[in-house]
Amino acid sequence: MHLKKYIPILAISLAAAGCSGFVEITPQHVIPVGNYYKTEADIRAALTGAYGNLRDIYNGFWIYFELPSDNTQVFTENEGSYGEFDWLTFRSTGGVSGPWNQGYRTIAAANIILDRIGGIDMSSELKDQYTGEAKFLRALMYFNLVRLFGNVPLVLKELATEAEAYTYARTPAEDIYAQIEKDLLDAEALLPPKFTGVNVGRATSGAARALLGKAYLQQQKWELAEAKLAQVVPAYTFEPNLAKLFGPGNDNNSEVIFSVQYVAGGIGLGNSFAHAFAPQKSGTSVVGLGALSNNMGTQDLYDAFDNNDLRKTAYMGVFKDGTNPKIYYWSRKFVNNVSVLNDGGNDWPVLRYADVLLMYAEALNQNNKTEEALTYISKTRVRAGLDALTGLSKADTQLALEKERRLELCYEGHRWHDLIRWGKEVATMEAFKAKYRPVDPRLSNMSVTADRKLMPVPFRELNLNPLLLPQNPGY
């Protein structure tokens, strides 16, 4: 774990009043840690910088959490960059270093805030709030890391030297999850239920509860998941109109529990979703600027929607490359015309109400409350113009839930670890490979084995710190 660039210095930036959502507008500056953390304003600015890290992380979140699944693919235009994630041929010398480094960068920032805030003269209310936010961010990063890599180093304090970083071995995943749970229980007790004005976008008590429920669910702690998610369900409003869920002007709507805030306008705070996700061959018919054909929907995803499902056209666009038989299924959730390349202002939803409803339904069904589970599965179906579900067995309800999560949350980075939680990643991807390899020979490269549920620890980290050995199985 190479933390040299994270330990002695911290990028700090200030939140400007009057902006839309919680973001930093002024450029980040490198400030020695020893000369900082003297006032409440210092802590606030440091915390804003930690939130700012999320924009880089979630700009590429789809690569690690959606692309490996049967939902999306990268077309030949850009397969050299992302083929290893599309075909499950993850490499320790490949792109896995991104989420590792970005995750620990944010954890380091949260640890510094948590270690230093006790000595700062500030109100107890703000101290609690900032502590809760830092713990939420640390938990979110560890939740991403433990799902991707399994056992990872558990660092819970400020590190003063590079040598100190190399004293950390990998901590068992169950202990990582225990710390995630502790941080989120603390955060929900410390955070307010909502923010207004320029503070919209900060983590709330509802976000902490929703993430904790998600962590319980991923561990199949069904009773704990049900109890925690039951606290979230009454606190938010279901957005009935699909047209108001995504895209500029719809950010921070009633269904958003926590999202990563982006701002357009040529100030370096935008995202690359439109550029990355639009079909390259479409010219200017889908987006006005260049496109790369990444995170494109698969034929399998498109066919999974019923023809009368309103999400089929609300969530997916279809582009045909002239006389070429290739069809691009692009994401209407994230693709919109932008005036500046990589300057999208639409947010990335980390936690939204539909996800909570379906997680709650899954926990209810696993706890043998099947009829109640069906009422929550039906909410997203009815919004999509489909009939409510009734009278299904527990097993059939689980299958309906799995399909509903796939359709409702497509492109958002849930599918791959849903499959892993259900123990279906190998069978699903084997079936996908067998079905589509005749029309897409590239799928011959796909490595569908049980060890793909984890990605390899980056080679550079193993080389710098042998305590991180052994490597994950299969690499």
Which CATH number fits the domain that encloses residue 42? 1.25.40.890
pLDDT in tens, 135-152: 999 999 999 999 999 999
Phi-psi region of 438 (alpha: psi -120 to 50; beta: other; left: phi over 0): alpha
Cα-flanking dihedrals φ and ψ of residue 10, to 5°? Answer: -140, 130
User: Does 189 map to a domain?
Assistant: yes
Calpha distance 63→56 (Å, rounded)? 12
Average pLDDT of the chain, as a whole number: 91
Calpha distance 340→320 (Å, rounded)? 25
* 3-class SS of residue 149: helix
* The pLDDT of residue 22 is above 90: no
Here the contacts of 12-18 (C-beta below 8 Å, separation 24 or greater) are: 12/36, 12/42, 12/45, 12/46, 12/48, 12/49, 13/45, 13/48, 13/49, 13/52, 14/45, 14/48, 15/44, 15/45, 15/48, 15/198, 16/198, 17/198, 18/198
* The pLDDT of residue 30 is above 60: no
In terms of residue numbers, what domain contains 3? 1-69+90-203
Instruction: Show Cβ contacts of residue 188 under 8 Å, excluding neighbours closer than 6 positions.
Output: 132, 205, 208, 209, 212
User: Does 19 map to a domain?
Assistant: yes
User: Does 405 map to a domain?
Assistant: no
Number of domains in the chain: 1
pLDDT in tens, 273-312: 999 999 988 777 888 788 899 999 999 999 999 999 999 9
* The pLDDT of residue 321 is above 90: no
Q: Give the pLDDT confidence score for residue 34 in this predicted structure.
A: 63
Calpha distance 57→63 (Å, rounded)? 10
C-alpha dist (Å) from residue 292 to 43, 277, 289, 441: 39, 6, 10, 20
Show the tokens assigned to 407: 């359709």
Among 6-15, 189-198, 396-405, 461-470, where is mean pLDDT lowest?
6-15
Instruction: Show Cβ contacts of residue 260 under 8 Å, excluding neighbours closer than 6 positions.
Output: 54, 55, 57, 58, 347, 348, 350
Report DSSP state, residue 439.
T
Buried b (16+ CB within 10 A) or exposed e, 410-442: bbbbbbbbbbbbbeebbebbeebbeebeeebeb
* The pLDDT of residue 453 is above 70: yes
* The pLDDT of residue 24 is above 50: no
User: Does 96 map to a domain?
Assistant: yes
Give the chain's length: 475
Q: Give the pLDDT confidence score for residue 339 in this predicted structure.
A: 84
Per DSSP bridges, beta strands 327-331 and 72-73 are unpaired
* The pLDDT of residue 175 is above 50: yes
330 in Cβ contact with 316 (< 8 Å): yes
Torsion, Cα of 283, 288, 294, 299 (10° steps): -60
User: Does 320 map to a domain?
Assistant: no
CA dihedral sign of residues 455, 456, 460, 466: positive
pLDDT in tens, 419-449: 999 999 999 999 999 999 999 999 999 999 9
Q: Give the pLDDT confidence score for residue 157 in this predicted structure.
A: 97
Q: Give the pLDDT confidence score for residue 32 in this predicted structure.
A: 58
User: Does 30 map to a domain?
Assistant: yes
pLDDT in tens, 39-67: 999 999 999 999 999 999 999 999 999 99
User: Does 78 map to a domain?
Assistant: no
* The pLDDT of residue 319 is above 70: yes
Calpha distance 188→183 (Å, rounded)? 9
pLDDT in tens, 68-117: 999 999 987 778 889 999 999 999 999 999 999 999 999 999 999 999 99
pLDDT in tens, 374-422: 999 999 999 999 999 999 999 999 999 999 999 999 999 999 999 999 9
Average pLDDT over residues 304-331: 92
Residue 2: pLDDT band by 50, 70, 90 thresholds?
very low
User: Does 212 map to a domain?
Assistant: no
Q: Give the pLDDT confidence score for residue 245 in this predicted structure.
A: 96
Calpha distance 215→220 (Å, rounded)? 9
Among 212-221, 261-270, 353-362, where is mean pLDDT lowest?
261-270
Calpha distance 236→239 (Å, rounded)? 9
Q: Give the pLDDT confidence score for residue 20 in this predicted structure.
A: 39
